[in-house]
Structure 1
Amino acid sequence: MAKALFHKHQRVFVGPVGTWALIEQVKPHWVKDVEEPIRVTYDCGLGRDFTTDELSAEQADSVEAGHWRVLRAKNKWQTIEECGGHPFPGTFPVVVTEAMDWGGWRVPAAEYDRDPHRIEAQARLLANSPRLLEIAEHLAALAGEDGDLPPALSELSRRAETVLKDINTSPAKRGGAGQSRAA
Structure 2
Amino acid sequence: MAKAIYHKHQRVFVRPVGTWALVEQVKPQWVKDVEEPVRVYYDCGLGRDFVADELAAEQADEIDTASWRVLRARNKWQAVEECAHHPYPGTFPVVVTESMDWGGWRVPAAEYDRDPARIEGQARLIANAPHLMAIAEQLAKLASEDGELPPALAKLSHEASKTLREINTIPSSKDNGKSRRAA
**TM-score (normalised: structure 2):** 0.65
The answer on whether the counterparts of 2:98 and 2:104 sit within 8 Å (CA) in structure 1 is: yes
- The aligned counterpart of 2:35 is none
The answer on whether the counterparts of 1:68 and 1:128 sit within 8 Å (CA) in structure 2 is: yes
In structure 2, what is the Cα distance between the partners aligned to 1:55 and 1:142?
A: 28
In structure 1, what is the Cα distance between the partners aligned to 2:11 and 2:88?
A: 50
Residues 55-97 of structure 1: per-residue CA shift (max 9 Å, x gap): 79979xx436431000000000000000000000000000000
Distance 1:92 1:64, change over 3 A: same
Deviation at 1:169, TM superposition (A): 1.0
- The aligned counterpart of 1:165 is 165
- The aligned counterpart of 1:112 is 112
**1:131 is the counterpart of 2:131:** yes
Q: Greater relative contact order (Cα 8 A, min sep 6): structure 1 or 2?
A: 1
The total of aligned residue pairs comes to 135
1:17 to 12, 19, 31: 12
Structure 1 segment 21-170 matched on structure 2, within 5 A: 62-63=62-63, 65-170=65-170
In structure 1, what is the Cα distance between the partners aligned to 2:169 and 2:59?
A: 17
Greater Cα radius of gyration, structure 1 or 2:
2
Unaligned runs of 5+ in 1: 1-14, 20-49
* Larger displacement relative to structure 2 (166-175 or 97-106): 166-175
* Structure 1: 4+ residue segments shifted above 4 A: 54-59
- The aligned counterpart of 2:180 is 179
Deviation at 1:174, TM superposition (A): 8.2
Residues 8-46 of structure 1: per-residue CA shift (max 9 Å, x gap): xxxxxxx97369xxxxxxxxxxxxxxxxxxxxxxxxxxx
In structure 2, what is the Cα distance between the partners aligned to 1:92 and 1:167?
A: 27
- The aligned counterpart of 1:44 is none
Residues 137-180 of structure 1: per-residue CA shift (max 9 Å, x gap): 11111111000111110000000011001101112178331231
In structure 2, what is the Cα distance between the partners aligned to 1:16 and 1:116?
A: 43
Instruction: Give 3-state SS (helix, strand or coil) of 2:140's partner.
Output: helix
Instruction: Give 3-state SS (helix, strand or coil) of 2:154's partner.
Output: helix
Write the letter of the residue equivalent to 2:12. Answer: V
Write the letter of the residue equivalent to 2:146. Answer: D
The answer on whether the counterparts of 2:11 and 2:58 sit within 8 Å (CA) in structure 1 is: no
RMSD: 2.9
The answer on whether the counterparts of 2:112 and 2:119 sit within 8 Å (CA) in structure 1 is: yes
In structure 1, what is the Cα distance between the partners aligned to 2:73 and 2:139?
A: 35
Unaligned runs of 5+ in 2: 1-9, 14-19, 21-51
Write the letter of the residue equivalent to 1:178. Answer: S
The answer on whether the counterparts of 1:78 and 1:90 sit within 8 Å (CA) in structure 2 is: yes
